[in-house]
Amino acid sequence: MRRSPAQWWFGGRAVSRLAVLGYHGVDDPEGFARQLDRLTRIARPVSLDEVEHAIEHRRPLPGRAVLITFDDGERSVLEHGLPLLRERGLPAVAFVIPSLVGTDTPFWWHEVDRLVAAGAGAERSTAAWLRHLKTVPQAERLADLDRLRAGRAAVRQTQLTADEVRALDAGGVRVENHSLTHPLLDRCDDADIRTEIGEAHDLLTKILGRAPRSFAYPNGNWDARAERLLHELGYTTAFLFDHRLGPRLPDQPLRVSRLRVASGTPPDRFETILSGLHPAVHGLRGRG
């Protein structure tokens, strides 16, 4: 797609759009370094502060604006992402799950992968289990997870400590809220939504010494009740995971689009993601 006439057309159009890159970990440091170098040559990396300033003062961001974000708080963001970003003077945002900070509790989707690999829930593959768990109500998801765990050795995963979270934040990767336990908010009841957002807000405030004011919807699942609560708590931005470019001045600050990308995304695909061609094609296929 990179060499098609459509890439040229989409690339021109992208000048007037905001590309928010949604990563998880930095599993391929060399690939991530190449992506950052490419961004410094062809784009205008911006900070979340700049996005918030643009929204507050109703002034569009500069052309080819790109914001780098990470979801979940994986250790590789601290160990590989932060040094590469600091070398280049580039800002970023990390949306973390504060209930996991300082623990050895795994991300629940990593736990499912390990449990299924060990023989649990043999009626489904890991991918099928994850699809299932992302569509059922919260209570059913938690019950299914308990059934998968039954009789199995506990899965452990070293998480970021509070000091490491603060080091990320001080190092230019601004830390913000990604919910208490990473549920699917549109599958939660009202009380769960208040707990997931409100308690995460309070925990992060204690860890950071300031209140968070940006949020990433877990799995990208937007929910109107969650948006209302974020507004009540004074949040200025919240991010989807819808694989779309947005306007240079976000018109719905609590529903900002993001592009799905990984540190190992091949260069040609990375270019078509930045231009908006890849998201457009996936949207036409019903996959965007």
Give me the domains of the chain, ranges plus CATH numbers: 5-105+157-284 (3.20.20.370), 106-156 (no CATH)
In the prediction, which pLDDT does 288 show? 40
The mean-pLDDT minimum among 7-16, 34-43, 186-195, 224-233 falls in 7-16
**Per-residue H/E/C for 96-152:** ECHHHCCCCCCCHHHHHHHHHHCCCCCCCCHHHHHHHHCCCCHHHHHHHHHHHHCCC
Mean pLDDT of 144-170: 97
* Mean pLDDT (the chain, rounded): 94
Cα separation, 233 vs 227, in Å, equals 10
In the prediction, which pLDDT does 284 show? 63
In the prediction, which pLDDT does 277 show? 84
Say if CB 273 and CB 265 are below 8 A apart: yes
- Partnered with residue 215 across adjacent β-strands are 177, 238
Say if CB 129 and CB 116 are below 8 A apart: yes
DSSP class per residue in 227-250: HHHHHHTT--EEE--SS--EESS-
Compute the chain's Rg from CA coordinates: 19
Range list of H helices, the chain: 5-14, 29-42, 48-57, 75-76, 82-88, 108-117, 126-133, 138-149, 162-170, 190-194, 200-208, 224-232, 267-275, 277-284
Q: Which pLDDT tens digit goes with each residue over 96-152?
A: 999 999 999 999 999 999 999 999 999 999 999 999 999 999 999 999 999 999 999
Structure tokens at 158: 């070293």
In the prediction, which pLDDT does 10 show? 58
pLDDT band at 16 (very low <50, low <70, confident <90, very high): confident
CA distances for 191 relative to 167, 208, 214, angstroms: 32, 25, 21
Structure tokens at 225: 């009740």
pLDDT band at 285 (very low <50, low <70, confident <90, very high): low
Q: Which pLDDT tens digit goes with each residue over 33-92?
A: 999 999 999 999 999 999 999 999 999 999 999 999 999 999 999 999 999 999 999 999
User: Hey, what amino acid is at 171?
Assistant: G
Q: Which pLDDT tens digit goes with each residue over 199-246?
A: 999 999 999 999 999 999 999 999 999 999 999 999 999 999 999 999
Which own/partner contact pairs does 198-201 have at CB distance under 8 Å and 24+ positions apart?
Answer: 198/229, 198/233, 199/99, 200/97, 200/98, 200/99, 201/177, 201/233
Cα separation, 128 vs 183, in Å, equals 17
Residue 156 DSSP class: -
Which residues are CB-contacts of 133 (< 8 A; sequence separation ≥ 6)?
108, 109, 112, 141, 144, 145
